[in-house]
Amino acid sequence: MRTIWLVEDDFDSRKSIRNAINDKSIEAKVIELTTEHEFREQLNRVTDESNLPNLVILDIMLPWTKPMKNMPPEPDDVKEKGVYRAGARCEKLFREKQSLKGVPVIIYSNLQEDYLKHDVIWKSEKTYYLGKNVDITELQLKIISLFK
């Protein structure tokens, strides 16, 4: 079974995406990650081909972590750029792993693509942009086309 990492902090958006995946009968296990810290932890768990994702759906604006008593400290890059570049940092870290270079990533964000053009590091041939302002059907069709 395929695996999709759904990296989205907003509950309603996650629910909508999850329903879109189920509605089109896209057979995949969905792993939901809600913070940049969770993404980094999940990325560190990728050790061999048996636990590679087949697709990542990635929001750009993500909190570092959920509020908790012993929050992990923010790395310098998180302190410097904050939530507005979290997804770009995640995509960059993802692409640095050789085993993940061929895995498609859909940047799914409220931020316009033009706003993100300065983050050229996330632009790769396997990274796609879809604005959240489009009909969810476009996301469904993109997932289906990537899984063919």
Cα 58 from Cα 88, distance rounded (Å): 9
Instruction: Using alpha carbons, select from 50, 49, 7, 55 the residue that is nearest to residue 32.
Output: 7
| Tokens 């061999």, located at residue | 48
CATH architecture of the domain formed by 2-146:
3-Layer(aba) Sandwich (3.40)
pTM attached to this predicted model: 0.88
Work out whether strand 55-58 and strand 127-131 pair parallel, antiparallel, or are unpaired. unpaired
| Phi, psi for residue 18 in degrees, rounded to 5 | -60, -45
Provide the edge-to-edge strand list for the sheet that holds 127-131: 28-33, 2-7, 55-58, 105-109, 127-131
Per-residue pLDDT of the chain (148 residues; tens, 9 = 90+): 899 999 999 999 999 999 999 887 788 999 999 999 999 999 999 877 778 999 999 998 899 988 878 888 888 888 887 777 898 889 989 988 888 989 999 999 866 666 666 664 555 789 898 888 888 999 999 999 999 8
